Amino acid sequence: MAQVSFIKATKLVELLKSANGGGDLSVSVLSSNQLALGVDPLNPTSLIDLSGETVRSISPDGAPREVKLPGADASLGSFRASRQTGSYTLKFKGATTDCWSLRNLLEAGLKSLEAYQPGVLDKLSAIKPRTKRIVARDPLHLFDQADLAHKYAQPLIEGWWFGTNNSAEETKTWLRRGAELAGLRWGSDISIGMPVDRWSH
């Protein structure tokens, strides 16, 4: 089964800057989720793990080792982008996508649903269970309170915004509703995985 890792461009830039450290290093692609950096492309000195959003140095013997960079969380032992919160996965029609947060999981799921069945976002935008929608063409239509839109509305795809302040249960509910609207079977055509401390099956 294919393993696909996605990362925001801003987070990739953050990781590259941290690994580059003011030098002028070359970047090479090692795998679908790893980049190597070094003055000599054949002898990298740093490794970026896209799925975990971590940066590690590579010792002279070729073994990766953890390094603490500015802004690193000491408890993690290596640099992590600010939104790294755990291991989340989206399984969609046989492909697995690694996500770094609930927000990223929801974003990947909504994009996949709309790509598979155009019009799903339109249908989801009509659903407002309490005080918020999950998607809208205008960020101010996501929440009853305008200040929440300024804090939690993020662009999804061109012409669409989504709300990012969702619990694990809400994230699952929205994606399950989207799957139903797309004519997909939850648990087989589409499913999600979350850290055990945030989710129980």
The confidence score (pLDDT) of residue 70 equals: 34
Window from 39-43, 45-49, 152-156, 195-199 with minimum mean pLDDT? 195-199
Distance (Å, rounded) from C-alpha 112 to C-alpha 95?
A: 11
Which of 11 and 186 is assigned the larger pLDDT? 186
Which pLDDT score is estimated for 73?
36
| 109-158 residue pLDDT tens | 999 999 999 999 999 999 998 889 999 999 999 999 988 988 899 999 99
Residue 72 clears pLDDT 60, i.e. is over it? no
Following DSSP, what letter does each residue of 38-70 receive, concatenated? ESSTTS-SEEEETTTTEEEEE-TTS-EEE---T
Question: CA dihedral in degrees (33, 17, 161, 32; nearest 10)?
Answer: -10
Query: Is the pLDDT assigned to residue 40 strictly greater than 50?
Result: yes
Domain locations along the chain: 3-80, 101-186
Looking up tokens 């070094």 gives 38
- Measured CA to CA, the distance from residue 105 to residue 162 in angstroms comes to 12
CATH entry 1.20.1380.10 includes domain 101-186 = yes
CB atoms within 10 A of CB 61: 6
